């Protein structure tokens, strides 16, 4: 009938085929996708956190001048001023800020948005939320 060597070879092939993984089974190590390297992503997130910290602290000259010349600390919570009124006062002052034309033009170009102004205020003063809006512990000086 069949040759014994042929039969032994066929049994070896059959046994190997039955124990081997199918072609769609586990891929070999070199075919597995590598996990993404997150070191650079972690560094980027850390850098963004630093920028966010520093942006709250960095203030413009016009803002610092406005705080110094146009506001004073409120003694009692009922004297606190609404953020919108303070921001309007800041805008009026910043548009006039500067000693010459180029300084005034530069100050107008660098006017802080409400968000940036709020971050600058937050770096200096605490705020309190009330029904009518955010309030800061400042008063606008008379004539400012």
Say if 71 falls within a structural domain. Answer: yes
Residue 57 has pLDDT above 60, yes or no: no
Whole-structure pTM value = 0.57
Say if 31 falls within a structural domain. Answer: no
Find which of 17-26, 52-61, 90-99 is predicted with most confidence, using mean pLDDT.
90-99
The arithmetic mean of pLDDT across residues 3-28, rounded, is: 74
Domain count, the chain: 1
Q: Which residues of 6-25 are buried (b: 16+ CB within 10 A; e: fewer)?
A: eeeeeeeeeeeeeeeeeeee
77: domain CATH number? 1.10.10
Say if 20 falls within a structural domain. Answer: no
Q: Is 62 left (phi over 0), alpha (psi -120 to 50) or beta?
A: alpha
Say if 26 falls within a structural domain. Answer: no
pLDDT at 119: 85
Say if 22 falls within a structural domain. Answer: no
Contact between 62 and 110 under an 8 Å Cβ cutoff? The reply is: yes
pLDDT tier at 10, thresholds 50, 70, 90: confident
Say if 48 falls within a structural domain. Answer: no
pLDDT at 48: 84
Note the pLDDT tens digit of each residue in 18-53. Answer: 777 666 666 566 666 777 777 888 888 888 888 766
pLDDT tier at 1, thresholds 50, 70, 90: low
Note the pLDDT tens digit of each residue in 111-139. Answer: 788 988 898 898 889 899 999 999 999 99
Contact between 96 and 104 under an 8 Å Cβ cutoff? The reply is: yes
């Amino acid at each position: 009938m069949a040759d014994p060597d042929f039969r032994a070879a066929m049994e070896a092939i059959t046994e190997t085929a039955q124990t081997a993984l199918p072609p769609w089974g586990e891929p070999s190590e070199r075919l597995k996708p590598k996990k993404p390297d997150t070191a650079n992503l972690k560094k980027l997130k850390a850098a963004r956190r630093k920028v966010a910290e520093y942006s709250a602290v960095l203030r413009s000259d016009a803002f610092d001048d406005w705080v110094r010349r146009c506001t004073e600390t409120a003694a009692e919570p009922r004297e606190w001023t609404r953020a919108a009124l303070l921001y309007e006062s800041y805008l009026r002052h910043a548009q006039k800020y500067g000693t010459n034309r180029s300084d005034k033009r530069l100050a107008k170009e660098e006017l802080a948005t409400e968000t940036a102004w709020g971050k600058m205020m937050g770096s200096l003063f605490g705020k309190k939320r009330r029904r009518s809006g955010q309030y800061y512990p400042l008063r606008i000086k008379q004539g400012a």
